[in-house]
Amino acid sequence: MTAQVQSLPSTFGLGVPVSVSPTRLNRHTTTTSTITGPTRGGQVLNINTLPHDNLSPTFKGFGLGLPSPPPELEDDDDAFPKIRSESVDNLIRSGILDAAIASAANEPDAEAAFFVADLGQIYRQHKRWQQCLPNVTPFYAVKANPDRVVLRLLAALGTGFDCASMNEINMVAELGVTPNRVIFANPCKPTSFVKHAARMGVDMTTFDNEDELYKISRAHPRAKLILRILTDDSKSLCRLGLKFGASLVAVPTLLAKAVELGLNVVGVSFHVGSGCYDSDAFADAIARAKKAFVMGQEAGYQFSLLDVGGGFESEHFEESATVLAKALETHFGDFTGQIIAEPGRFYVAEAFTLATNIIARRGPERSVLEQQEIDEEDDNDNPRVMYYLNDGIYSSFNCILFDHQIVSPFCLTVGKVLVDGSSTSLSAAQAPPLVTSSLWGPTCDSIDCVMARVKLPGGLQVGDWLGFRKMGAYTICAASSFNGFDRTKVVYTVGEELVAIESLLVPATAL
């Protein structure tokens, strides 16, 4: 059996004969494959003798309630996935090597793209939240990434959940999360979903219009209602105010209607917009929420809940948290009720790294690109090479369309040689010149363009791998299987937080 030659990163000894067990990741191979062939520089690489200890994963379950599945269930979609403990980058490398082995064994979908999810990163985000906003209880917005392992970890960490639909409510209920840790935070719900929430004991729900009040008074009269007000969302990636939120002028009438219907309004919520890049938006929103609280008092309510919504970005989290905490001190300093938030993106965005395979290429011969000194002037920024990836706009990269993201790739392999991310060990063959290129998804639609213009090494070829970091929020959750392409699967690791997470996840009663 011959196959693509894999040179390995310097940590494994470049060009040294190595072997690797083909049973890593989720592949279901029972025999050890041998991959030999001439490497770059004429050496023969045999990945059959790679030191096993370096790469074989230590499988870790989550402790009580989260057992590793029995072997016969390993490939069963319903089984709880294995949780590994290697670093993200090592798992990506393992995945790439596995793909080479699977390809050599002619396995279907051998080169499939994959995510590596770092649960340790989610844990660190939670610690950050507790550190900066100790008095604000996070209710994770499930829509950002409803991955069941993520939900399970957050449930164990003790967060609440912001659910927007019947299925999201069911998902967290199945984890054993009690209904008082759930807010049904969709102001415009189907009547049947409101009835479902009532059946499930989920009482907290938002509203922003009169019709919703009539609906709730019929379908869930004992609900604890939270008035969603409109705030300035102009400094955010996704403006939610176009669709939701009652303006302050409408609040007194709405509250009067709630009183008339005998409904229990318990507080106020807002959302500054998803991906909020102006921390001051939180200060302005808190000031408006205070006004709504006063209107509540005038209507005869004693509000006990303030929900500051989502919108938190990891990049400016400390800044936003400081602004928010200060505004809370100013306007809600003597508030004795509960303060909650609905962060989504903040928890998951950075935890997921995507590895994609270049499945096709259109452009000049690589040797031409590699030899040619590309004159920046001549290059004119017009893409000279088109690369086709096995994930695109219809799948994980839907975030480009729906979430207004700009993604940026890094090379995992160049010329089929693993790039060691921690060093600058690119050989002459892999090194620049960088060539203006474009990246496309695998479907037959031309809207499926991941990047119209990006500088990439001219040595990239079909079979090489590109990585994308920070792909955890609003990606997998909205992916389709258009054109018959599967959604990208996830490999999980606790990364550097093994001990911390394990101790938190035992016992299961913590759920």
Among 80, 312, 332, 394, interactor with ligand PLP by CB under 6 A:
312
Neighbours of 217 (CB within 10 A): 17
Under rule CB under 6 A, residue 384 binds ligand PLP: no
Among 9, 120, 310, 409, interactor with ligand PLP by CB under 6 A:
310
What's phi and psi for 257, nearest 5 deg?
Answer: -65, -40
Under rule CB under 6 A, residue 160 binds ligand PLP: no
Among 118, 203, 233, 342, interactor with ligand PLP by CB under 6 A:
342
Under rule CB under 6 A, residue 470 binds ligand PLP: no
Give the pairing type, strands 352-362 and 114-118: antiparallel
Catalytic: 444?
A: yes
285 backbone φψ class: left, alpha, beta (φ>0; ψ -120 to 50): alpha
Under rule CB under 6 A, residue 458 binds ligand PLP: no
Rounded to whole angstroms, the Cα distance separating 182 from 180 reads 5
Residue number with CB closer to ligand PLP (165 or 322):
165
Under rule CB under 6 A, residue 189 binds ligand PLP: no
Rounded to whole angstroms, the Cα distance separating 353 from 371 reads 32
**Which listed range, 57-65, 309-317, 399-407, 487-495, lies at the site for ligand PLP (CB under 6 A)?**
309-317
Tell which residue, 200, 220, 319, has the closest CA to residue 264: 220
Number of residues that bind ligand PLP (CB under 6 A): 18
Under rule CB under 6 A, residue 344 binds ligand PLP: yes
CB 202 to ligand PLP: min, Å: 15
Rounded to whole angstroms, the Cα distance separating 97 from 412 reads 11
Under rule CB under 6 A, residue 296 binds ligand PLP: no
Give the pairing type, strands 409-411 and 465-468: antiparallel
Under rule CB under 6 A, residue 143 binds ligand PLP: yes
**Which listed range, 22-30, 54-62, 344-352, 385-393, lies at the site for ligand PLP (CB under 6 A)?**
344-352
Under rule CB under 6 A, residue 163 binds ligand PLP: no
Binding flags for ligand PLP, 237-256, as an x/- string (CB under 6 A): ---x----------------
Rounded to whole angstroms, the Cα distance separating 9 from 24 reads 18
Under rule CB under 6 A, residue 278 binds ligand PLP: no
Among 181, 215, 290, 345, interactor with ligand PLP by CB under 6 A:
345
**Which listed range, 118-126, 269-277, 280-288, 407-415, lies at the site for ligand PLP (CB under 6 A)?**
269-277
Rounded to whole angstroms, the Cα distance separating 179 from 7 reads 52
**Which listed range, 107-115, 259-267, 305-313, 461-469, lies at the site for ligand PLP (CB under 6 A)?**
305-313
Residues 301, 304, 310, 316, CA torsion sign: positive
Under rule CB under 6 A, residue 309 binds ligand PLP: yes
CB 245 to ligand PLP: min, Å: 10
DSSP output for 31-46: S----B-B-GGG-B--
Rounded to the nearest 10°, the torsion over CA 485, 487, 492, 495 is 90
Rounded to whole angstroms, the Cα distance separating 494 from 502 reads 9
Under rule CB under 6 A, residue 459 binds ligand PLP: no
Residues 6+ apart with CB under 8 A from 394: 441, 443, 445, 448, 479, 480, 482, 483, 485
Indicate which residue of 188, 399, 444, 449 is catalytic: 444
Under rule CB under 6 A, residue 18 binds ligand PLP: no
Say if CB 122 and CB 154 are below 8 A apart: yes
Catalytic residue numbers read 444
Q: Catalog residues that contact ligand PLP under the rule CB under 6 A.
A: 141, 143-144, 162, 185, 240, 271, 274-275, 309-312, 342-346
